Amino acid sequence: MKWLGILGLVALSECLVMIPLTKMKTMRETLREKSLLTNFLERNTGNRSQNRAYYPKMTFHPLRNYLDLAYVGNISIGTPPQQFKVLFDTGSGDLWVPSIYCYSRPCRTHKLYNPHTSTTFRLWGQPVDLIYGSGRIIGFLSYDTVRIGKLIDMGQPFVLSKAQYGMEHAPFDGILGLGYPSLATQGTTPIFDTLKRRSLIPQAVFAFYLSSRKENGSVLMLGGVDHRYHKGKLQWIPVSQTHYWQITMNRVTVNGVAFGCSRGCQAIVDTGTSFLVGPSRVVTALRRLIGARLVDNEYTVSCSYVPRLPTIIFSINGNNYPVPPQAYIRKSLRGICLSSLAGGTEYLSRSETWILGDVFLRLYFSVYDRRNNRVGLAPAV
């Protein structure tokens, strides 16, 4: 069972905020995104040809920001390639996509993989049951060629869904896990480990730059780090448990007062979770402090009051990482200001645990170093 993933634990404690179908990509948007493959690095950070000169073997993979709730990139599976939109998720370990054998309602709204049209498809057949914070995938294992940009991974194990529960309106077809191998289905090798083992990437490292409120500009780096995406020096934090990208946190404070984690706690760095997630009792106290009110299963605050709300400070390995109210309060399409704080981590671990999701990772460029089992953080540009 994997509790993390798309929107993390939000569904365990409150109504899940899903993305409306009207925000799914049109054909024009799809074509525009294809052009991103050649020009996305030209925005604010220089020309892509310069990146190729400095980082000739590192792969830059563009991601699309959907309403600050999910970051999605394109991959392809099979020969000839079948393209899918996937969530690159540090909180899980498996790659899965919907298949033509799936007749669940969520599969009807997404691209389906057809094994009969791929000359490189091989059936494994082992049944798989994946549980995420906001859905469940039942399927079976297979092998095929997976392409991430110019990276070609032949014979990669992946899951084909036969039934899906939840994620019907998600802006992605499947999920590509970037967690440790212990998070993946037993007997399989996650795609990052395969890329590393086959020397398809120069270093056992990847990094995320997640843009804020912009559809384009976010990027996943595989095999290296482009330091022009962050300010100052990367601060390295040891992984405390090689399962999730889990680290030790010193404390959480608001206005100088401890809000949980008073004696230290654990934090999971998770690109597949939209919000900041903590113990329900602590999050309830934080909501009370900021004056959040429950309206239609969502916690709202007055938009005019947001600039006066306090900053939440996460202290990690001797460094402070402030999260201001403009980061943990988001404005909906209806113009309502909503809290991006969620409770529920008590279902994940007996010890106090937080999930540092996209709310945190838009502020801090993050690097995941498998060779040295550490996470690097620095303010994003």
Question: Which is catalytic among the residues 68, 153, 270, 358?
Answer: 270
Active site residue 270: yes
Tell me the longest C-alpha to C-alpha distance in the chain. Answer: 61
Active site residue 89: yes
For residue 98, whether the previous peptide bond is cis, meaning omega lies within 30 degrees of 0, is no
Query: What are the φ and ψ backbone dihedral angles of 330, each rounded to 5 degrees?
Result: -120, 150
Question: Which is catalytic among the residues 89, 94, 144, 153?
Answer: 89
Distances (CA, A) of 322 to 26, 42, 364: 37, 29, 10
Q: How many Cα atoms sit within 13 Å of 288 on the Cβ side? A: 7
Are 139 and 147 in contact, with CB atoms under 8 Å apart? no
Give me the active site residues, please: 89, 270
